[in-house]
Each structure stands twice: as C-alpha cells, then as structure tokens.
C-alpha cells in the first residue's frame, strides 16, 4: 500500500500522524510511505529523519491525498481538504463526527472509508483515544491553574493554597481516562478534589488510589449542581462513545457559580458539557460568560506534540499496519478496527451517527 501522511493544517496543531519510527515500520512491512515536507517538524522530527528510514518526502499535499491508499493523520480533515477526498481512500485519524455533520456528509459523498481513532474499542477501552486523554487530563489542571490567575480574569486562587488559606476546589466530571489523569495532577497539586461519574467502579478505583485525598460522588443532577457551584475549577471529562456530550452544567447554574471559577471543558470535541461551551484555540483559549471562564481547546495534546505524537503513534501503529498488511476487508474482521469504521461506500456505518444524522 501507499501510506500518506500530510501535515496537520488545523490551527496550532503540531502533532504528526506518523513519527519516523512508526513510518519505518510500514516501510519494513514492504509499504511505501509518503510524508509531506516538514510534517514532523512541529513534533521535533526532521524530513531527514524520515528519509533516513526509507520514507519519501513529498512537497505537495494534494499529491499525497491523490496518490495514497491510506492517509494516516491526527485531526479531522478541515473543509479545505474535503475536495481532496477520493473514492475508497482509507482515512485513518481522529474524526469526532458526532459534532461535525458537514464532514460526515463529505466523507459519505466522496465514498471515503473512514476509521476514527476515538471509537475503536478493545475490551471496553478506547486504546487510540487513551493516550491523548491522558495528556489532556494532565494538561487540564495545568491550564486551569494558569487561568485561575487574576491577570487572566480568574478567581486568583492558588491551587494548593497556603497554610491558613483555602485550597482550590476542583470538580472533575467523568472518572475515565481524562478524569483520572486530571485527578492525579489535582491531587499532586494539593487541591480539594471531587470526582463524579455514573460508573461507581471507576469511582471506587480512584478511592482506592487516593483514599481520603479525594471525594467521589455519583453523577446525579443534585450532586452535580452542588459540586459545580462550590468549585473553583470544573473539568468536563465525560464521554458517551460516538455521541454528543451531555449538558451537565445547566444554564441556570451559571450565575450561581463562583466568580472567576473556570470550566476546562475537555469534552468540547464532543460538543462540551454546557450550552456555553465553544471551541477555542491555543492562542486565545479562554472566554468569559457572565463571571465564569471557559476553556475549550479541542486539541489540547497539540500543545505538547513531542510527547503526544509519540504516544499517539504507539497506540495507532499496530492497527494501521494490520490494515496495510491484510487489506481493509480482512482487517475489518478485527473487531477493534471494525469499531472505528464510520463511513463506507457512500453510507454512514457507525450506529450513533446513523441515529444522529439519518433519522431526523
């Protein structure tokens, strides 16, 4: 197969779909790898590093889209790339189609076979989302700490407090991978941490890890309201796979929340946990609604590309190789790869997308 990797064009996205060492595995398996010139630079990988491992550097991204059997990317294609889609192209990347109907329609129309990292499921885990969720969870607390500073319009609280002053109250909604990693950082920074989830096993896991350093609560509306209203920092870390994020911060809570409190809505890539949430970018990541700050960067791991690109490739490589080696028909017999399938032969395949977009 010809495997293509284009440079990410999303604003402030510095990750790359294939690192040199991952690309070299495809080469070792007998495939041809085309890398767009300077695609890896943002993550610290030079063109020479790819070339030394047998990849071909291609200047024109259009040539890569046109000539590849499979494109391996990081983020969803942007509108300017839709025209480059072609029939039967295998697109292997994050897609988040539940909150992007135009892309869903474009993939169908151009008969692209799309496989989304974020829905690939292995033993009820999401192996290709997990490393990025780990990064985003850890970053969420660092970002919240920074934007809690008064200079940015935050409450001016220092997360750890000092002897004789209150510590920041951090409410983490969702105890999955993002939530667990946010919890790890928040506990490390000595915040007062409350974690909510519908899954009591996940809450029990965190209780076992941190004992009385955290509080856990079942995520019903009453508990959510209390934990949101008393928080200095709220982390939106929920996921209903393939579906839009539930709106857990109700509109009427906003005026009751603490002045200068901040919502880091990590779940923004699935639409976010409030009606106020919207996508922001690394250069201007926060906005204020009433007296509450919101942070809505949808590609948080993009700001630490050196770590993120390598972690992402570690997760996606084996399935990508399987597709390239066996061909798509055989590879789709693997339930993990099948669970990533979104569109094929002009049709939507992923059940929640059909429910969202085909039955209205």
Residues that bind ligand NAD in the complex, under the rule CB under 6 A: 118, 129, 132-133, 136, 173-179, 196-199, 202, 219, 237-240, 245-246, 248, 266-270, 297-301
Min dist. Cβ of residue 46 to ligand NAD (A): 26
Alpha-carbon span 129 to 165, nearest angstrom: 38
Residue 174 or 260 having the CB closest to ligand NAD: 174
Helix (H, G, I), strand (E, B) or coil at 347: strand
Residue 55 or 224 having the CB closest to ligand NAD: 224
Q: Residues 132, 118: contact at Cβ < 8 Å?
A: no
> Which residue out of 31, 208, 269, 325 is catalytically annotated?
269
Give the bridge partners for 80, in sequence order. Answer: none
CA-atom Rg of the chain in angstroms: 21
Residue 165 in tokens = 């002053």
Q: Residues 101, 358: contact at Cβ < 8 Å?
A: no
Residue 33 or 187 having the CB closest to ligand NAD: 187
Sheet containing 347-348, strands listed edge to edge, beginning at the edge strand earlier in sequence: 56-58, 32-36, 2-5, 70-72, 90-93, 113-116, 341-344, 347-348
Min dist. Cβ of residue 101 to ligand NAD (A): 17
Min dist. Cβ of residue 273 to ligand NAD (A): 9
Alpha-carbon span 276 to 245, nearest angstrom: 13
Min dist. Cβ of residue 225 to ligand NAD (A): 12
Sheet containing 169-173, strands listed edge to edge, beginning at the edge strand earlier in sequence: 214-218, 192-197, 169-173, 233-236, 262-265, 292-295, 286-289
Residue 82 in tokens = 């839709």
> Which residue out of 31, 96, 197, 232 is catalytically annotated?
96
Min dist. Cβ of residue 139 to ligand NAD (A): 8
If one counts every other C-beta atom within 10 angstroms of the C-beta of residue 310, the result is 18
The answer to whether 96 is a known catalytic residue is yes
Residue 133 or 313 having the CB closest to ligand NAD: 133
Residue 32 or 223 having the CB closest to ligand NAD: 223
Q: What residues are annotated to the active site?
A: 96, 269
């Amino acid at each position: 197969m010809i495997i293509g990797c284009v440079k990410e064009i999303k604003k402030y996205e510095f990750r790359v779909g294939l690192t040199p060492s991952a690309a070299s595995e495809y080469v070792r398996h007998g495939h041809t790898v085309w890398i767009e010139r300077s695609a890896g630079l943002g993550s610290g990988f030079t063109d020479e590093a790819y070339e030394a491992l047998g990849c071909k550097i291609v200047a024109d991204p259009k040539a890569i889209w046109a000539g590849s059997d499979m494109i391996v990317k990081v983020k969803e294609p942007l509108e300017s790339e839709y025209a480059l889609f072609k029939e039967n192209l295998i697109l292997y990347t994050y897609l988040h189609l539940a909150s992007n109907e135009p892309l869903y329609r474009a993939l169908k129309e151009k008969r692209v076979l799309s496989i989304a990292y974020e829905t690939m499921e292995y033993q009820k885990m999401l192996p290709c989302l997990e490393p990025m969720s780990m990064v985003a969870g850890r970053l969420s607390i660092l970002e919240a700490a920074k934007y809690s500073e008064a200079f940015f319009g935050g409450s001016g609280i220092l997360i750890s407090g000092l002897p004789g002053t209150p510590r920041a109250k951090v409410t983490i909604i969702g105890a999955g991978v993002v939530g667990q990693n946010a919890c790890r950082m928040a506990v490390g920074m000595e915040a007062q941490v409350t974690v909510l989830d519908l899954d009591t096993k996940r809450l029990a896991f965190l209780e076992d890890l941190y004992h009385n350093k955290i509080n856990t609560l079942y995520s019903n509306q009453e508990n959510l309201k209390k934990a949101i209203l008393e928080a200095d920092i709220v982390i939106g870390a929920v996921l209903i796979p393939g579906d839009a994020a539930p709106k857990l911060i109700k509109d009427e809570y906003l005026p009751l929340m603490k002045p200068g409190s901040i919502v880091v809505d990590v779940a923004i890539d699935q639409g976010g946990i409030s009606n106020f949430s919207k996508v922001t970018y690394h250069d201007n990541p926060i906005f204020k609604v009433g007296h509450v700050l919101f942070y809505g960067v949808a590609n948080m791991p993009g700001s630490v590309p050196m770590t993120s690109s390598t972690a992402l490739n570690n997760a996606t490589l084996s399935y990508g190789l399987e597709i390239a080696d066996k061909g798509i028909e055989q590879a789709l017999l693997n339930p993990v790869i099948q669970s990533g399938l979104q569109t094929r032969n002009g049709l939507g395949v992923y059940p929640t997308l059909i429910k969202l977009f085909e039955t209205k």
